[in-house]
Amino acid sequence: MLQMSRRQFLKITATSLAGSSLALMGFAPDTALAEVRQYKLARTTETRNTCPYCSVGCGILMYGLGDGAKNATASIIHIEGDPDHPVNRGTLCPKGASLIDFIHSPARLKYPEYRAAGSTEWKRISWDEALDRVAKLMKEDRDANFVEKTDEGKTVNRWLTTGMLAASAASNEVGYLTHKVARSMGLLAFDNQARV
Ligand code: SF4
């Protein structure tokens, strides 16, 4: 004969009652546990891009939620290597594989900022203001320091007081055009982050 204490008896009774009540309500644990988890990228938008970290320039696929509707907040929820990209063929190093944290970092800089000379505060400015200021300063410096001829009269057309570092995560075509723009202004100090 089965021997059990009063406490054990109450425990078994409570468990059986709970189980049968759930079954009566239509809850079938076997079915629920066997259900296939929904594919997490099913309702996302896929966007191709390039990893911004280093000169390798690996291709990435970014998956975002939000379809542009007013009540939907767009957000990137997953990033992986692009299997069709000739550089990395779907692989990513640990830095590239953690890009999602970089994107959602509260410390990420998303707009131009300006700190006036002598000030300790950074002030947010628009892209138009930033680009106008860069263009204005470049022109001032070039007008003051452009060298057309050497002391011996040799034509050189060079501008040595400003340098430029181009981004490595650009296509060959963008790299070619960037080079043309920089050289057409006489810039000699010109390099690419791909060599850094
Ligand atoms: S995934 Fe790694 S190797 Fe590729 S570009 Fe990014 S940082 Fe460089």
Q: Which residue has the tokens 């320091």?
A: 145
Identify which of 49, 50, 54 to mutate to test ligand 1's pocket (most ligand atoms within 8 A of the CB): 54
Identify which of 53, 80, 82 to mutate to test ligand 1's pocket (most ligand atoms within 8 A of the CB): 53
Once rounded to an integer, what is the mean pLDDT over residues 99-124?
A: 94
Q: What is the pLDDT of residues 125-170, one digit of tens each?
A: 999 999 999 999 999 999 999 999 999 999 999 999 999 998 877 7
Determine what percent of the chain is predicted with pLDDT higher than 70: 84
Dist CA 64 CA 75 (whole Å): 5
Q: What is the pLDDT of residues 52-94, one digit of tens each?
A: 888 888 999 999 987 667 777 889 999 999 999 999 999 999 9
Other beta carbons less than 10 A from residue 157's beta carbon: 12
